[in-house]
Amino acid sequence: MTDNPTDAFEPRSAITRTLVERGYVNQVTDLEGIDGAFAAGIVAVYAGFDATADSLHVGHLMPIMTLRRMQQAGHKPIVLIGGGTTRIGDPSFRLAARPMLSEEEIAANVAGIRTVFERLLTFGDGPTDAVMVNNADWLDQMAWIDMLRDVGKHFSVNRMLSFDSVRTRLEQQENLSFLEFNYMILQAVDFLELFRRTGCRLQLGGGDQWGNIVGGVDLLRRIEGAEVFGMTTPLLTTASGVKMGKTAAGAVWVNADRLSPYDYWQFWRNAEDADVVRFLKLFTELPLDEIERLGRAEGAELNAVKERLADEATALVHGVDAARQAQETARQAFGAGEAAEGLPTVALNEEERAAGVALVELLLRAGMASSKSEARRAIAGRGVRIDGEVVEDAEATVTTGSGPTRLSLGRKRHAVVR
């Protein structure tokens, strides 16, 4: 097993070459073994997603896009929804336990996240069609004594404590409950169950899943004598060190009811210069030679490349029409015209429209600031405009009169107050 698997490696299969060249490969248990399996025939590969919210965010797109590439190359994706493991919560690299969700909340979240996969993968009954499974189907039926006897005996507590995801919690002297400590065992059971049901031979996950994935590979070797593999995708941060999928206003959700297609488009349009080529490789389907050409852009030309990134990434998740509308909305918003349809909207009630609302409060409600102090700093820095006019008074109150008002933060973030 290696953390730097692609050095001096010459792939035999086209899909391995694609994954390496585009930057999807982080850690693997056996890159040559995976490559050989890809070259030999159809490989069933699964990635798991716990239902901790009713939408995924862009940080989840790395494993989903990897599944998409594999399906396009003739392999079979398995999307595992963690209806069972969500009840426990993955402790990987978290300093506190996840909040416990009710059965009703988990069911609602499962329904919400299903739609994302249906946009990016082709589901059906064919040999390379994607399938979706829920680990509650087998974990809810598992007897505790049977699990201890049949599975638990194969796990070394000493080794489990050595994994970074666990060691980090312990070094911070944060509580790690026995409930959470069982998570990696249950994830290994998922791999075992999918191997038995579907012949799945590859588990895929984010970089924080390495310890859990290795545990599953080892369990299948011990119980089934099977040669199976594990791979992680990078946990991406932006060039300035911000975790992918997070902004000052919160997570960048992929469901339109959590984040408008316009705001999703803006997230990609606002990518840092140093990230553009990398994001084009990972989150669009543009050919690599075209990405290389686009990557040579400088100055004002780079803004056009960022729009291309935003168009392509938004079209994948929300559709071509939504991407075009977002681009048109942005062009209108950046001009001097009226507030454009499609921008994020802050709806005021009749009393608020008559009496006015504090500008600081509007910035919070529009998602342009995460705290009142952050909003006041933006105003003090002359970064906030109302209908194109800079506002310097942090105590200002906004009234909408008879028509909509455009609220802007910097040159790229806009919202309509109605």
Q: Are residues 349 and 330 in the same domain?
A: no
pLDDT band with cut points at 50, 70 and 90 for residue 339: very low
Q: Contact, 60 vs 236, CB < 8 A?
A: no
For position 37, what pLDDT does the model report?
97
Q: Are residues 31 and 140 in the same domain?
A: yes
Is residue 137 predicted with pLDDT exceeding 90? Answer: yes
Q: What is the pTM of this model?
A: 0.78
For position 295, what pLDDT does the model report?
94
- What is the Cα Rg of the chain in Å? 24
- Within 8 A by CB and 6+ apart from 376, the residues are 360, 394
Q: How do residues 19-28 score in pLDDT, each as one tens digit?
A: 999 999 999 9
Q: Are residues 203 and 107 in the same domain?
A: yes
| Segment of 171-175, 319-323, 333-337, 383-387 carrying the highest mean pLDDT | 319-323
What is the H or E stretch that residue 321 is in?
helix 320-334
Q: Are residues 328 and 355 in the same domain?
A: no
For position 71, what pLDDT does the model report?
98
pLDDT band with cut points at 50, 70 and 90 for residue 4: low
Tell me, what CATH number does 367's domain have? 3.10.290.10
Three-state secondary structure call for residue 192: helix
For position 34, what pLDDT does the model report?
96
- Residue 245 maps to a domain: no
Q: Are residues 274 and 228 in the same domain?
A: no
Q: How do residues 353-409 score in pLDDT, each as one tens digit?
A: 778 889 998 898 888 888 888 889 889 888 898 876 788 888 888 877 555 677 888
Q: Contact, 269 vs 323, CB < 8 A?
A: no
For position 180, what pLDDT does the model report?
66
For position 370, what pLDDT does the model report?
83
For position 41, what pLDDT does the model report?
97
pLDDT band with cut points at 50, 70 and 90 for residue 337: very low
Q: Contact, 108 vs 47, CB < 8 A?
A: no
Q: Are residues 350 and 327 in the same domain?
A: no
pLDDT band with cut points at 50, 70 and 90 for residue 5: low
389: exposed, middle or buried (Cβ count in 10 Å: 0-12, 13-18, 19+): exposed
Q: Are residues 170 and 282 in the same domain?
A: no
Bigger pLDDT: 150 vs 65: 65
- What spatial distance separates the first Cα and last Cα of the chain, rounded to whole Å? 57
Tokens read off for 55: 């939408």
For position 365, what pLDDT does the model report?
87
pLDDT band with cut points at 50, 70 and 90 for residue 233: very high
Full strand arrangement of the beta sheet holding 384-386: 345-346, 413-417, 405-409, 384-386, 389-390
Q: Are residues 265 and 169 in the same domain?
A: no
Annotate 271-286 with b (16+ C-beta within 10 A) or e (fewer).
Answer: beeebbbbbbbbbbeb
Is residue 75 predicted with pLDDT exceeding 70? Answer: yes
Q: Are residues 296 and 363 in the same domain?
A: no
pLDDT band with cut points at 50, 70 and 90 for residue 250: low
Tokens read off for 290: 């075209």
Q: Are residues 329 and 355 in the same domain?
A: no
Region of 362 (left: φ > 0; alpha: ψ -120 to 50; beta: rest) is alpha
Q: Are residues 94 and 165 in the same domain?
A: yes
Is residue 297 predicted with pLDDT exceeding 90? Answer: yes
- Residue 50 maps to a domain: yes
pLDDT band with cut points at 50, 70 and 90 for residue 323: very high
Full strand arrangement of the beta sheet holding 202-206: 27-28, 229-233, 202-206, 44-50, 76-82, 131-134
Q: Contact, 233 vs 62, CB < 8 A?
A: yes
Indicate the residue among 334, 364, 381 that finishes a domain. 334
The one-letter code for the residue type at 89 is G
- Residue 401 maps to a domain: yes
Number of domains the chain contains: 3
Annotate 314-337 with b (16+ C-beta within 10 A) or e (fewer).
Answer: bbbbbeeebbebbbebbebbeeee
Alpha-carbon dihedral angle through residues 394, 399, 400, 406, given to the nearest 10 degrees:
-10
Three-state secondary structure call for residue 56: coil
Query: Mean of the pLDDT values across residues 176-183?
Result: 73
- Cα torsion 393, 396, 402, 406: sign: positive
Residue 232 pairs in a beta bridge with 27, 205
Query: Mean of the pLDDT values across residues 225-233?
Result: 96
Distances from the Cα of 351 to the Cα of 16, 275, 355, angstroms: 60, 44, 6
Q: How do residues 14-56 score in pLDDT, each as one tens digit?
A: 999 999 999 999 999 999 999 999 999 999 999 999 988 899 9
For position 336, what pLDDT does the model report?
40
Arithmetic mean of pLDDT over the chain: 86
Q: Are residues 197 and 144 in the same domain?
A: yes
For position 148, what pLDDT does the model report?
85
For position 344, what pLDDT does the model report?
74
Q: How do residues 77-110 score in pLDDT, each as one tens digit?
A: 999 999 888 887 655 545 445 567 888 888 899 8
Query: Mean of the pLDDT values across residues 219-239?
Result: 91
- Residue 4 maps to a domain: no
Query: Mean of the pLDDT values across residues 179-198?
Result: 90
Q: Which domain holds residue 22?
A: 14-233
